[in-house]
Amino acid sequence: MGQLKGIKQGNDKEEIARIKQALNQTFKIKDLGDLRYFLGLEVARSKKGIMVNQRKYALELLTDAGLLACKPAPTPIDNREKFSSTRSVPFTYIQFLVKPITAHYTAAIRILRYIKGAPSLGLFFSSNTSTHLKAFCDSDWGTCSDSRQSVTGFSVYLGNSTISWKSKKQGTISKSSCEAEYRAMGNGHGYM
């Protein structure tokens, strides 16, 4: 790999050709051109940046669920919906899930209806964004009506581009909203 010393970042075509040739001597590579599709992700480049989405997968998912012609939903979930395993009607048509309820099924269908309205939504990585890393976190204290556990959510941005996000029920029960927020901050910091 000594041949690759002095690699520079940029779009110098001669330098790129030299690197490809050096890689080919070691690994026998094939140049497939600009990336357009990889592991189910569709990639589109422009001068403004890179757009990544899963449009093909979204349409296949809707087709498999029989919802390709359904009416789109404006949001992925109704935030007024509270799930409870003790105060709901069991959903008996699915196996291998722990106590599903009809509200879970309704929520899953709503997510698919949301996808129907925007199958090409994805992540955009701007070509002129800053390299400033920032993170936001929050918690919803005691939101689980069954366990009283809080839910933590966070997102991490490089400039204006989202690079990581997660929402998860906290492992322990917080005694106050302040404690739940502190745990959320700790969880978000662990992913930075």
Phi-psi region of 29 (alpha: psi -120 to 50; beta: other; left: phi over 0): beta
Q: Is there a contact between 150 and 142 (Cβ–Cβ < 8 Å)?
A: yes
pTM over 0.85: no
In this structure, what are the phi and psi dihedrals at residue 180, rounded to the nearest 5 degrees?
Answer: -65, -40
105 shares a domain with 22: no
108 shares a domain with 86: yes
Q: What is the pLDDT along the chain (192 residues), one digit of tens a residue?
A: 444 444 444 567 888 889 888 999 988 888 888 889 988 899 999 999 999 999 999 999 999 999 999 999 999 988 777 777 777 777 777 675 677 778 888 889 999 999 999 999 999 988 888 888 888 888 887 777 777 788 888 888 888 888 888 888 777 787 777 777 777 777 656 555
**142-158 burial, b for 16+ CB within 10 Å, e for fewer?**
bbbeeeebbbbbbbbbb
Please state, in angstroms and rounded to a whole number, the distance separating the CA atoms of residues 170 and 144.
10
Question: Alpha helices, DSSP H only, in the chain?
Answer: 13-27, 55-64, 102-117, 177-190
Q: Look at the chain and report how many structural domains it folds into.
A: 3
Tell me the residue range of the domain where 3 lies: 1-31
Please state, in angstroms and rounded to a whole number, the distance separating the CA atoms of residues 174 and 178.
8
108 shares a domain with 83: yes
46 shares a domain with 17: no
Cβ neighbourhood burial of 116 (10 Å; 0-12, 13-18, 19+): buried
Please state, in angstroms and rounded to a whole number, the distance separating the CA atoms of residues 111 and 84.
19
96 shares a domain with 54: yes
Please state, in angstroms and rounded to a whole number, the distance separating the CA atoms of residues 116 and 110.
10
Look at residues 128, 162, 177 and tell me which one is the last residue of a structural domain: 128
83 shares a domain with 46: yes
Cβ neighbourhood burial of 69 (10 Å; 0-12, 13-18, 19+): exposed
